[in-house]
Structure 1
Amino acid sequence: CGLFVGMVLSLQLYYTLAKFGGTAALGTVVALSLFRELGPVVTALLFAGRAGTSMTAEIGLMRATDQLSAMEMMAVDPLAYVVAPRFIAGVIAMPLLACVFNALGILGAHAVGVSWLGLDNGTFWGNMSANVEVWSDLVNGVWKSTVFGAVIALIATFQGYTTPPTSEGVAYATTRTVVSSSIVVLALDFVMTAFLM
């Protein structure tokens, strides 16, 4: 997904920048768009749809088949044994996935901008490295993706843990996970952007 987002971003921005004679800024604009917004947000939406629903379904099925009740009967805390590892995994995995998304997005933008549209390779990389700040751009994107991972994991585990113990309940819980996570990610993105800028 990152590769194709970078490719289409490069294609769209090249012709827009060409109207103003600014095609040399293509690498910078693509990198800033990916690092600040598109990388963390699109990765979070994909993460919610794939990993979030998986977490909800796993925990929900454990609820439906009385595995969580059996743990409680054996004095094993299901929150510590089932929920906490999934939450921690979500917090760790999201920034890593966002970094991979960003890297592939920039490679896709490079392939379209340099190989296809004929932009100079040195101009693409030189302007990008000169204008992208590590702390204000890269670290803020990683910080956003960490928060998104925590929120998605929290929503997914909560929906799975509190789902009604039926197959229909698990299905509704997975749907609620995707919808709630998507809305919260987009709302949090606005709030975090307002505070980080």
Structure 2
Amino acid sequence: MNPLSTYIKESPFLKEIGEIALFTKRFFKEIAKPKQEYAEFLNQCFWIGYKSLILVGVTGFIMGLVLTIQSRPTLVEFGAESMLPSMVSVSLIREIAPVITALICAGKIGSGIGAELGSMRVTEQIDAMEVSGTNPFKYLVVTRVMAATLMLPVLSSLANAISLYGGYLGANIRGNVSWNLYWFQVFNVLNYGDVLPSLIKTFFFGFAIGIIGCYKGYYSQKGTEGVGRSATTAVIVASLLVFIIDLIAVQITDLLGLT
């Protein structure tokens, strides 16, 4: 037997990558089939999107406020205090707000999906759905992955707006920047090369969080320990994928000259 094939079969890491790839392949096959579960999809959009608004909003506000307060002394030292709104807006929109929002959702949504589907697997509810003729993959997995993919860009856009408002308050704690001047400097420095790549990569963040959470929960091991492990590993793997996707997105935008 080929040593490489033997290594791949015996490596848990590579084996899991292959299983996730097959799980993702099955997702695209199921989504192409007719009779979508629109009611469950809207229900998941509510739980994934609406129920995360407060957490994302508070986090976004604190991000903008803290970044502005901590950046101001350095800019004052170099006599560039007037560049504070521009610097904060580019930092938040390009990188900080989307990534932090994705990590929050990886912790909240990824663990929630993993624990929910893991509990259904342990209590044999998924097996019961298969016996009754229902397609549990389409009902449980497709709806959650699609909801996460759609809702994370919405949550990220909300975090962008609230974090910029937090930046405005931070700029006025020790300074005096008018409302009109602040937003003029914010939008004057931003362009489509800053906003579009940031928005596009959040779709991939949401898809990665949804697919990992569903995979870990759908194939959870028996017992309550397996449910807990599914929720924990879903957060870890989803967070790691967020950083990997972000790294790839940065490289692509740099090659396209959008940075």
TM range (shorter): over 0.9
Please give the alpha-carbon distance, in whole angstroms, between the structure 2 residues aligned to 1:140 and 1:117.
33
Q: How does 1:92-111 map to 2 (within 5 A)?
A: 92-111=150-169
Q: Which amino acid aligns with 1:76?
A: T
How much identity, in percent, do the aligned residues show? 31
Match of 2:97 among 24, 36, 39: 39
- What residue is the counterpart of 1:187 in the other structure? 244
Aligned equivalent of 1:61, options 109, 119, 135: 119
Separation of aligned partners in 1, 2:147 and 2:98:
17
Look up the match of 1:117. 174
CA distance in 1, matches of 2:69, 2:147: 35
Give the structure 2 partner of residue 172 of structure 1: 229
Specify the alignment match of 1:82 in structure 2: 140
Query: What are the ranges of 5 or more consecutive residues in structure 2 without an aligned counterpart?
Result: 1-58, 255-259
Secondary structure in structure 2 of the residue aligned to 1:26: helix
Q: Match for 1:132 among 183, 187, 190?
A: 190
Question: 1:119, CA displacement in angstroms?
Answer: 3.4
- Indicate conservation of the 8 Å contact 1:24/1:119, yes or no: no
Q: Which has the higher contact order (CA 8 A, sep 6+)?
A: 1
TM value normalised by structure 1: 0.95
Is 1:158 the counterpart of 2:212 in the alignment? no
Per-residue deviation, residues 128-185 of structure 1 (Å, max 9, x unmatched): 111101x211111111111100001010000000111211001001110111111111
Structure 1 residue runs without a partner (length 5+): none
TM superposition shift of 1:39: 1.0
Distance in 1 (alpha carbons) for counterparts of 2:154 and 2:228: 29
In the alignment of these two chains, the number of paired residues is 195
Note the alpha carbon deviations across 1:70-92, whole angstroms, 9 max, x for none.
11111211110111110111001
Measured after TM superposition, the shift of residue 18 of structure 1 is 1.0
Indicate the SS of the match to 1:119. coil
- Superposition RMSD in Å: 1.1
What is the letter of the counterpart of residue 162 of structure 2? L
Distance between the aligned counterparts of 2:166 and 2:160, measured in 1?
10
- 2:201 is matched with 144
**Aligned structure 1 segments of 4 or more residues deviating by more than 6 angstroms:** none
**Are the counterparts in 2 of residues 91 and 146 from structure 1 also a CA contact under 8 Å?**
yes
- Calculate the TM-score normalised by the size of structure 2: 0.73
